[in-house]
Amino acid sequence: MKFTLQKESNPLSARAGTIQTDHGVIETPIFMPVGTHATVKALSNDELKAADAQIILGNTYHLYLRPGMDVMKEAGGLHKFMNWDKPILTDSGGFQVFSLSHLRKIEGDITTFRSHLDGSLHQFSPEVSMEIQRTLGSDIVMVFDECTPYPCTYEYAKKSLAVTHRWEKMSKDYLRSREPMWDHTQALFAIVQGSVYEDLRMDSAKYLSDIGYDGYAIGGLAVGEPKDKMYDMTQKVCEQLPKDAPRYLMGVGKPEDIIHSIARGVDMMDCVLPTRNARNGSVYTWDGKINIKNQRFRNDFTPLDPECDCYTCKNHTRAYMHHLYRQNEILGMRLNSIHNIHFFVKITRMARKALLEDRFPEFYKAFFDRYKVEEDHSAANAIHRENRIKKFAKK
């Protein structure tokens, strides 16, 4: 993997660059669609490419449970299994340590999970995560970490960070002691943690840069903390990270978060929002988010977004999309996913273009002059998550 920095913006710290991998070039800043189960839900590979998706995510924990590593080996890795010939980044399972926290126990370097599918016990460690990601054959491997929740006490964040740091070193040692399983090289990204505590974040960024990884991610954000904290941490960490390596803000975010993050020096982002929300009826436009299920779109014969050139917007109207959702037709979710992914990638492509043309600050201003930013619900999300866990626990 080779990262090339092409442009930096001032006074905003945005950057444009390229990441060369064995499966092609990634032009940054870039939004990466999430394909947890070896599929970006509801979308075909062709549709992803039409949306200009350059790299997608897969997930260690989920793919390990299903289809299982025997299938993955026989298939020849994740690329071949899903027939995706562009870059893939795999998450390490660290996020599941957080999101499935009620099903796991951390003891030393071993995290014992109860499968959310059948309750069976599984043990994860940095080595196990690396081994699975070797089998998957992703272009970018993520270190195994603990994504801390919010709120999180300073003491816990500090303790967790020490463990995560140990795991990150173990991840590197393990991966670098072996050859890639398939015929391409695998880059390894570290993950900066430290919750919302600036000194911990700084320690983390410094510690990891000193060890040296191919790229650096910022994890543990967008988990319920206020927006200003999220933006602030992102900026501080970016300032601390080396310039000559890509920076990946994990799990972020909404369109406004993407722009804010790019402006603070982030190169890569991923989020389930465009696909998940697409299935639930939310449509992203340059004017803000709309819910296509709303009554007011029943007779609206304009495209989802007037300026969008995606398949959905070129061929269908809001009234039609509204109808498909009313009928709970699967095509509605597909068409809407096509649009949202197109839109999210487009945001980063436009930002990149602006950067290369030395007009990023103008682009930034124009975006926020127009885009209606949503109210911050981050505080309510922890409760929402709890409700869901309780509901699943009952079943």
Partner RNA sequence: GGGUCAGUGGCCGAGUGGUCAAUGGCAUCAGACUGUAAAUCUGACGACGGAAGUCUACGGUGGUUCAAAUCCAUCCUGGCCCA
Binding to RNA in span 260-289, by CB under 7 A: 270-273, 275-277, 279-282, 289
> Which residue of the set 91, 139, 257, 305 is catalytic?
91
Question: Which residue from 27, 47, 91, 127 is in contact with RNA, where contact means CB under 7 A?
Answer: 91
Contact 285, 303 (CB under 8 A): no
User: Residue 153 phi/psi, 5° resolution?
Assistant: -70, 155
Question: Which residue from 78, 147, 241, 304 is in contact with RNA, where contact means CB under 7 A?
Answer: 147
Dihedral sign, Cα of residue 135, residue 138, residue 142, residue 146: negative
- Least distance from RNA to the Cβ atom of residue 357, Å: 27
> Which residue of the set 139, 145, 267, 270 is catalytic?
270
Q: Taking CB under 7 A as the rule, does residue 191 contact RNA?
A: yes
Q: Taking CB under 7 A as the rule, does residue 120 contact RNA?
A: no
Q: Taking CB under 7 A as the rule, does residue 92 contact RNA?
A: yes
70 is catalytic: no
Give 121 or 356: the residue with its C-beta nearer to RNA. 121
Q: Which stretch binds RNA (CB under 7 A): 5-13, 96-104, 133-141, 200-208?
A: 96-104
Contacts of 369 (CB under 8 A, 6+ apart): none
The type of residue at 363 is F
Question: Which residue from 17, 87, 94, 246 is in contact with RNA, where contact means CB under 7 A?
Answer: 94
Question: Which residue from 55, 88, 103, 238 is in contact with RNA, where contact means CB under 7 A?
Answer: 103
91 is catalytic: yes
With 0-12 CB in 10 A as exposed, 13-18 as middle and 19+ as buried, what is 115? middle
Q: Taking CB under 7 A as the rule, does residue 157 contact RNA?
A: no
Distance separating alpha carbons of residues 334 and 43, to the nearest angstrom:
7
Contact 305, 286 (CB under 8 A): yes
With 0-12 CB in 10 A as exposed, 13-18 as middle and 19+ as buried, what is 212? exposed
Contact 51, 64 (CB under 8 A): no
With 0-12 CB in 10 A as exposed, 13-18 as middle and 19+ as buried, what is 353? middle
Q: Taking CB under 7 A as the rule, does residue 116 contact RNA?
A: yes
- Least distance from RNA to the Cβ atom of residue 98, Å: 6
Question: Which residue from 21, 54, 96, 135 is in contact with RNA, where contact means CB under 7 A?
Answer: 96
Q: Taking CB under 7 A as the rule, does residue 196 contact RNA?
A: no
Give 224 or 303: the residue with its C-beta nearer to RNA. 224
Q: Taking CB under 7 A as the rule, does residue 324 contact RNA?
A: no
- Least distance from RNA to the Cβ atom of residue 180, Å: 20
Could you tell me if residue 357 is left (phi over 0), alpha (psi between -120 and 50 degrees) or otherwise beta?
alpha
Instruction: Show the tokens assigned to 313.
Output: 């917007």
Could you tell me if residue 249 is left (phi over 0), alpha (psi between -120 and 50 degrees) or otherwise beta?
beta
Give 210 or 393: the residue with its C-beta nearer to RNA. 393
> Which of the residues 24 through 83 are near RNA (CB under 7 A)?
34-36, 40-41, 57, 59, 62
Distance separating alpha carbons of residues 46 and 69, to the nearest angstrom:
26
Q: Which stretch binds RNA (CB under 7 A): 1-9, 23-31, 220-228, 359-367?
A: 220-228
Q: Which stretch binds RNA (CB under 7 A): 3-11, 72-80, 194-202, 370-378?
A: 370-378
- Least distance from RNA to the Cβ atom of residue 327, Å: 9
SS3 assignment, position 395: coil
Q: Which stretch binds RNA (CB under 7 A): 98-106, 154-162, 195-203, 311-319?
A: 98-106
What's the order of all strands across the beta sheet hosting 2-8? 2-8, 15-21, 24-28
Question: Which residue from 172, 201, 254, 264 is in contact with RNA, where contact means CB under 7 A?
Answer: 254
Give the residue numbers marked as catalytic.
91, 270
